[in-house]
Structure 1
C-alpha cells in the first residue's frame, strides 16, 4: 500500500534529488517523485518519518499534513513549473490555468493562498517572473525583448518597470552589477 507525502518548498528538480535521498536515507522505497509530492511503496514507520523530518528541517523542507497547505504548495509548484519551465507560454491567464489544474474556483484559491502566504498569487507570480528574468539576463542568450515575450510581458517597458520596482535596478544595471559579483563555482 503506497503512501503519498506532500512537501513544502520543493520547487525544483534538484529538490527532487534531495527529497529522494532523505526518504532513501530513512530506509523508505520511493515509488514516484514529483515537485511537491513523494509517493513511497510502503507506509513509513514512526522512526522513518522522524528521520525524514529531521533531514528536511536541515535543508528547509517540511512535510505538509493539512489539506490547505498542500493546495497552496500545489499552486506554487504549478507556477514555478510554468514560469521556470522551458515553455512558459500560457494559452489562458494564470487564474484560469490554476483553476483548471486544481479544479477549483480561482477566488477561493486566491483567498487561501493569501491567508497562508501573507501575499497574493499575483505577487508570487511577479516574484517568480523577476527571478526568471534575472536568470535569463545572466545567461545572456536572449535580448530583453525576447525575455519579455517569453514571459508574456506586454512590453519591454512593462518588464523593465516591474523589474526595477522589485529589485531597485533596471535590467541593464542588474546585469552589470551581477557580472561583477559572480564567482566561478570552484571559487565559492
Structure 2
C-alpha cells in the first residue's frame, strides 16, 4: 500500500515518519519524500489513527489525487534545491513534467489553485531559503552559492534575494536577525 504524506521535505522528515510508522507497528518497505510504501493495507480507522500521529509531527496523509500532484511538485522542487548537484541542465517545467508525466499547464494551474502561488514563485522562495541557509553557514562565497543554485550570475541571485527579502545577501549575512522560514511554510 502506498501512502502520500504532506510536508515531508528533508531527510529528518523521512526519519521521523519512518520512526512513527515503526511505533505504529508498520514496517515500511520504503520511505521517500512524500511517499511511503508499506506491505499491509490499512482500513479507514487505522489510517485515521496513523494520520493523527503524523499530524502531531507536522505531517498529514493526503488522500486526494490533486493534492498528491501538488505535494509531488513541492517535493521535486525541494529535492532540486537541496539535494541535486550542479549538473542540472533542464528547465523547471521539463523537470516536473518528466517526473509527473502530465501536461505542465494542468500541473501549473492545479498548483496555483491549491497554493495561491505559481510553481515558479514557490521555486524562487525555496531557492532564497537555501541561499539564506548557505549564507548563515558562511562556507561558500556568493559566486559558489549562485553556481550551486543554478543562478545565471551572482548579480541575478542578489537582485532576486533583495526582491524577496528586502535585504542584499551581504546585509542579510551581517544582520543579527537572520530569519529563515520553515520549508513546509513556503
Per the alignment, in what secondary structure is the counterpart of residue 113 of structure 2? helix
Q: Residues 66-122 of structure 1: CA distance to partner in whole angstroms, max 9, x if unpaired?
A: 011111111111111111115154211001111111111211111111011111000
Distance 2:52 2:120 in 1: 33
Per the alignment, in what secondary structure is the counterpart of residue 175 of structure 1? helix
Corresponding residue number in structure 2 for 1:55: 53
Q: Confirm whether residue 147 of structure 1 aligns to residue 148 of structure 2.
A: no
Corresponding residue number in structure 2 for 1:171: 169
Q: 1:59 to 1:13 in 2, by over 3 A?
A: same
Aligned mate of 1:95, from 93, 96, 100: 93
| Matches for 1:117-136 after TM superposition, within 5 Å | 117-136=115-134
Shift of residue 48 of structure 1? 3.2
Distance 1:44 1:180 in 2: 43
Distance 1:116 1:179 in 2: 31
Shift of residue 50 of structure 1? 2.9
Q: 1:135 to 1:89 in 2, by over 3 A?
A: farther
Aligned mate of 2:10, from 3, 9, 12: 12
Is the contact made by 1:113 and 1:120 (CA closer than 8 Å) also made in structure 2? yes
Shift of residue 153 of structure 1? 1.1
Distance 2:106 2:129 in 1: 26
Q: Confirm whether residue 108 of structure 1 aligns to residue 106 of structure 2.
A: yes
Corresponding residue number in structure 1 for 2:71: 73
Corresponding residue number in structure 2 for 1:84: 82
List structure 1 segments (4+ residues) > 4 angstroms apart after TM superposition. 178-181
Q: 1:178 to 1:5 in 2, by over 3 A?
A: farther
Gaps of 5+ in 1: 182-188
Distance 2:136 2:87 in 1: 21
Larger radius of gyration: 1
Gaps of 5+ in 2: 180-186
Higher RCO (CA 8 Å, separation ≥ 6 residues): 2
Shift of residue 7 of structure 1? 0.6
Give the alignment's TM-score, normalised by structure 1.
0.89
Shift of residue 180 of structure 1? 7.8
Shift of residue 46 of structure 1? 4.2
